[in-house]
Amino acid sequence: MSVNQLKQKDWTKDGRKWIFQTRYKDLNGKIKKYKSKKFFTKKEAQEAERVFFLNLDKYRPDNDMTFKDLYLAFYEYQEDKVKETTLHTYKDRMRYMALLDNVKVKEFNLQHYELWRKKILEYNLSTRTRNYIYKFLKTIMNFGTKWYGLNFNHIYPKMTNFTDPNERKKEMKFWTFDEFNKFISVEDDLMYKTFFKTLYFCGLRKGEIRALNWHDIDFKNNTLSVNKGISDNVNGKRYIISSPKTPTSNRTLPLPKDVINDLKELKEYYMDFTNFKEEWFVFGGSLPIGDDSIRRRKNNNCKLAGVKEIRIHDFRHSCASLLISQGADITMVAKFLGHSKIDETLNTYSHMFQNKLTNIISIIDNLNDKAKNDNAILEEDYNNDKDDFEISM
């Protein structure tokens, strides 16, 4: 067994240079050689080597695997099955498993779980984040049941979500159309002006708008195609481009005239560069616009315009609010935002429909008032006809 660093000529383009090589016995008792794929660091290669041997022994009834063994095996299993951003999320959540690292999985009991749960409560996390971590633990346990024959029936039914009755739900911030106009009126840079307009009127996620290339803009049909997203600082990389958050996030959106005109002007500016390509990012050029640059520009404009400070993601909420307030159909709003289910739109923006509920009652009241008025007229006409009839008699 050995972990080695390859010669530089054998490194991958993204810098993977460590491997492990070993010999092992197969199911028939024959000695086999194994050479691993390449890894970024020596530590990653060593962990992969440990998981490799763990997998060889996974059918042993006396398996002494620990929780760390289990979640590393889970991570390796997922490496070629999920997006790189998802792997990055898994890796981030593994640090919350540290309390269980040395616990043998076959000995895992309710006391272990309760100690882990108390530890998670010590972190300054929202209830939502704690439950994401809790869900990750259950995912690892389910993986162990499926692939290693582990039995958690004695503990699984007693595990519960994190709850906090005293936690107040964060108020959703958004800008009205007038507030946005104040904000955009102080922006004099064409790229940023176009960026914030596209963000506000199209309801894009930050990763979606940063990933836009010029071939995603159709000036003939005045549409914008969302088909990818950008994530920063994933596995040591400055940024990566991956598929959108969900399949329904792939969408083509019609663009307002004002946004189209700004995009045309911005492209003309880029085309003055001799090395311009359609693959360039709409916002940034040869590289995508930086997250920190966006945030600083946005905060500075808020101060200059005298409007409340909102997050970049709140531009998306603002777009939804604008559409709902103007009577847009909820199904179309869900499709516009790229939500996988209409329930997601309704649950997220239910408070914005309060005025619509009031309008519904007004419609019913108006119908009842009209019916009463019509009945009164009919009754008056009947009485008049009756009086005329009696006089003629």
pLDDT per residue over 141-154, tens digit each? 999 888 877 889 88
pLDDT per residue over 170-215, tens digit each? 667 889 999 999 999 999 999 999 999 999 999 999 999 999 999 9
pLDDT at 340: 78
Residue 123: burial class (beta carbons within 10 Å; 0-12, 13-18, 19+): exposed
Region 177-340: CATH code: 1.10.443.10
Q: Residue 369 is encoded by which pair of tokens?
A: 């008032």
Highest mean pLDDT of the ranges 10-14, 145-149, 366-370: 10-14
Question: What mean pLDDT is reported for the chain?
Answer: 85
Q: Where are the beta strands (DSSP E) in 219-339?
A: 223-226, 229-234, 237-242, 251-254
> If you classify domain 2-158 with CATH, what class do you get?
mainly alpha
pTM (predicted TM-score): 0.68
DSSP code of residue 288: P
pLDDT at 92: 92
Instruction: Determine the Cα–Cα distance for residues 21 and 37; give it in Å rounded to an integer.
Output: 10
